[in-house]
């Protein structure tokens, strides 16, 4: 068993800080890496050492494997944590890290490879009695047979990129007439975003809820789960509000979904932290969607209800320790809600609204946690994901956790750019959310830009932010959904 003494975090922003904090509590030294845009970033200041790895676009810095291992060698780090996004789900990176003589704080390259392809993942789990969404198990090659399958499954169907992630490369098809066009779009989106145009068909589950299970495996074959997270409040197939536990799961359903999640992990010999995503239909049937082989953005809600530091556990597992508890040792304590604070304008189709944090004051108090990577006066770089912070609130019951989150949102002061805070408050007040009776269509069904009263911006600020969005679209190929230029020009017209 190799104790980690110095950890390099191959990431930036809130997640880099969050990982370093746990490492420091464990007596582990930390190394940051940074690009030009992040010279003054908080993760750089927090780390014991920091190494410059290149220019701002992530292909020039945070995605350069050799630069990262070179930085680890130079600082004599013994392990590398990839965080989320960037290289975290890249099997070549995991292999490169290990072949360079460092511990990779994550699963094996082989598990990442299997689960990185949605089709390979389905194939692997199908032998483990895990329910799958009806659909094709092979990439679509010819249109005629694909249409035939779609007809058998029944419309609406979803065309999905096998290599997809972050909500990209997905197209809903309501009628056969649209099939060809949507398929072409899905293939071209998948090719440009993931370099792999393989797409497949899934039944589109109407009224779907997104429920995922946090799992953990060790290198000795043990796997347990840390209950579920409800992540149905999404825009562009990406989450904005998450909570744990879910208000729809009975303890029986929790148990059977938990067992299925453990089987998914076992199907690929998984160790480390992972998330098994399911879709739940209106009759509470669940189906496996995919597995994310990394720490998830929303992991803090699980930490709040279990009292366990998941990053510390990741480090212990990477050191070769066995899981320190059994399934029956774990229980759910209270309820936690996370809202993601993005530099986006909900009144304008959630387009990024990059700028400077003129005012930035975090909420405080019992049961409130803010994970962020910025301070007042800092700018949100347009090269990366525009998430400013995650606000996580914990209380005894769902109702109290919601009330606490609303109070914290009211206390959160951010000026200089638009954020998702007002939108999140709107959701938290909404009857559908309150009743627990909602699905992934919440935004479509209940949210209109008029639902919010936005503060008018200055003309120069409008021009500056519109220009930065154009730049942002050019530079974010790998870490965020690229903003389509078509949408931008429409957006600029509306705003200017
Ligand atoms: P989670 O599933 O953890 O809630 P998201 O789906 O929002 O999170 O993705 C987490 C981060 O990883 C985001 O920064 C997102 O842009 C990025 N991401 C997710 N999948 C991919 C991918 N396949 N390629 C590039 N970036 C990705
Ligand atoms: P990604 O890798 O982009 O995260 P997922 O397969 O996890 O892709 O799907 C992302 C989101 O898209 C889900 O959370 C859900 O809201 C929606 N989705 C995916 N598959 C289906 C489906 N078959 N029916 C309905 N909604 C779906
Ligand atoms: Mg997903």
pTM (whole model) above 0.85: yes
Mean pLDDT value of segment 457-479 = 46
* 391 and 437 in a common domain: yes
How high is the pLDDT of residue 490?
29
Do 62 and 150 share a structural domain?
no
pLDDT at 222: 98
Q: In this structure, which residue's CA is closest to atom 20 in ligand 2?
A: 289
Residues 195, 214 contacting (CB under 8 angstroms):
no
Domain end residue (candidates: 156, 173, 203) = 203
Q: Is residue 115 in some structural domain?
A: no
64, 89, 105 - which closes a domain: 105
Q: Is the per-residue pLDDT at 179 higher than 70?
A: yes
Pair (417, 474) in one structural domain: no
For residue 480, the model assigns a pLDDT of 37
Q: From atom 2 of ligand 2, which residue's Cα is the shortest distance away?
A: 165
Q: Are residues 244 and 299 in the same domain?
A: yes
Counting ligand 1 atoms within 8 A of each CB, the residue from 11, 57, 83, 84 with the most, and so the one to mutate, is 84
Q: What distance in angstroms lies between residue 484's CA and the mean position of ligand 2's atoms?
A: 20
CB 347 within 8 A of CB 454: yes
Residue 111 lies in a domain: no
pLDDT tens, 366-392?
999 999 999 999 999 999 999 999 999
Among the ranges given (95-99, 103-107, 319-323, 458-462), the one the predictor scored with the smallest mean pLDDT: 458-462
Query: Which atom of ligand 2 is found nearest the CA of 277?
Result: 7
pLDDT of residue 467: 52
Mutate to test the pocket of ligand 2, among 117, 160, 237 (most ligand atoms within 8 A of CB): 237
CA 137 to ligand 3 centroid distance, Å: 18
| 175 plus 222 within the same structural domain | no
Q: Is residue 112 part of a domain?
A: no
Atom 1, ligand 2: residue with shortest CA distance: 165
Phi/psi at 376 (5° precision): -55, 135
Residue 438 sits in the same domain as residue 369: yes
Same domain? For 51 and 155 the reply is no
My answer on whether 185 and 266 are in the same domain is no
Distance CA 410, CA 377 (A): 21
Average pLDDT, the chain: 91
- Could you tell me if 368 and 242 lie in one domain? yes
Structure tokens at 160: 């999905």
Whether 52 and 94 share a structural domain = yes
Task: Return the active site residues.
Answer: 294
Kindly report the CATH number assigned to the domain that includes residue 284. Answer: 3.30.470.20
Specify if 128 maps to a domain. Answer: no
| Residue 126, in any domain of the structure | no
Are 369 and 404 members of one domain? yes
Please give the distance, rounded to the nearest whole angstrom, from the Cα atom of residue 484 to the centre of ligand 3: 21
CA distance 374 to 294: 23
Question: Is residue 336 domain-shared with residue 360, that is, in the same domain?
Answer: yes
Of ligand 2's atoms, which has the minimum distance to the CA of residue 169?
Answer: 3
In a domain, 120, yes or no: no
- Higher pLDDT pick, 165 / 370: 370
Mean pLDDT of 410-417: 98
Structure confidence at residue 95 (pLDDT): 98
> Residue range 478-487: average pLDDT?
35
Other C-beta atoms closer than 10 Å to the C-beta of 58 total 25
Distance (Å, rounded) from C-alpha 142 to C-alpha 484?
28
Ligand 2 binding pocket mutation candidate from 200, 202, 208 (most atoms within 8 A of CB): 208
Answer whether 117 contacts ligand 2 (Cβ < 6 A).
Answer: no
| 113 in any annotated domain | no
477 within ligand 1 shell (Cβ under 6 A): no
Question: Domain range for residue 197?
Answer: 134-203
CATH number, domain of 46, equals 3.40.50.20
Q: pLDDT by residue (tens digit) across 32-61?
A: 999 999 999 999 999 999 999 999 999 999
* Number of structural domains in the chain: 4
pLDDT digits over 255-283, tens only?
Answer: 999 999 999 999 999 999 999 999 999 99
In a domain, residue 119? The reply is no
User: 143-153 and 179-194 are packed helices; what angle lies between their axes, rounded to 10 degrees?
Assistant: 110
């Amino acid at each position: 068993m190799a104790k980690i003494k110095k950890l390099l975090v191959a990431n930036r922003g809130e997640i880099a800080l969050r990982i370093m904090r746990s490492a420091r509590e464990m007596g582990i030294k930390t190394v940051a890496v940074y690009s030009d845009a992040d010279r003054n970033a908080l993760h750089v200041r927090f780390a014991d050492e920091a190494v410059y790895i290149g220019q701002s676009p992530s292909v020039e810095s945070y995605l350069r494997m050799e630069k990262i291992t070179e930085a680890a060698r130079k600082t004599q780090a013994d392990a590398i944590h990839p965080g989320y996004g960037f290289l975290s789900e890249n099997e070549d990176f995991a292999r490169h890290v290990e072949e360079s003589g460092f511990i990779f704080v994550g699963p094996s390259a082989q598990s990442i490879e299997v689960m990185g392809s949605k089709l390979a993942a389905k194939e692997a789990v199908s032998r483990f009695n895990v329910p799958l969404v009806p659909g094709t198990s092979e990439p679509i090659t010819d249109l005629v047979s694909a249409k035939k399958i779609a007809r058998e499954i029944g419309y609406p169907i979803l065309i999905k990129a096998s290599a997809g992630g972050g909500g990209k490369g997905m197209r809903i098809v309501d009628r056969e007439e649209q099939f060809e066009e949507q398929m072409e779009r899905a293939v071209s989106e998948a090719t440009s975003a993931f370099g792999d145009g393989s797409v497949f068909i899934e039944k589109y589950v109407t009224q779907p809820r997104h429920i995922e299970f946090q799992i953990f495996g060790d290198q000795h074959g043990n796997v347990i789960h840390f209950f579920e997270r409800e992540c149905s409040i999404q825009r562009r197939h990406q989450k904005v509000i998450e909570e744990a536990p879910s208000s729809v799961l009975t303890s029986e359903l929790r148990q059977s979904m938990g067992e299925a999640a453990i089987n998914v992990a076992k199907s690929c010999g998984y160790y480390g932290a992972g998330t098994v995503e399911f879709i739940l239909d209106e009759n509470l049937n669940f189906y496996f969607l995919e597995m994310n082989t990394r720490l998830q953005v929303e992991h803090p809600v699980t930490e709040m209800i279990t009292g366990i530091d998941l990053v510390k556990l990741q480090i212990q597992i990477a050191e070769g320790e066995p899981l320190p508890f059994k399934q029956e040792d774990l229980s759910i304590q209270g309820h936690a809600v996370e809202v993601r604070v993005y530099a986006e304008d909900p009144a304008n189709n959630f387009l990024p609204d990059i700028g400077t944090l003129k005012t930035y004051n975090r909420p405080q108090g019992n049961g409130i946690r803010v994970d962020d990577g910025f301070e007042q006066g800092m700018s949100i770089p347009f090269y990366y994901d525009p998430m400013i912070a995650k606000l996580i609130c914990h209380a005894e019951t769902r109702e109290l956790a919601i009330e606490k989150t609303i109070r914290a949102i009211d206390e959160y002061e951010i000026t200089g750019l638009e954020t998702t805070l007002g939108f999140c408050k709107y959701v938290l007040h909404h009857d559908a959310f309150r009743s627990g009776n909602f699905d992934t269509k919440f935004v479509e069904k209940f949210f209109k830009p008029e639902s919010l009263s936005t503060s008018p911006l200055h003309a120069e600020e409008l021009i500056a932010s519109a220009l930065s969005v154009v730049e942002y679209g050019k530079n974010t190929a790998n870490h965020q959904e690229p903003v389509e230029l078509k949408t931008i020009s429409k957006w600029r017209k509306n705003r200017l």
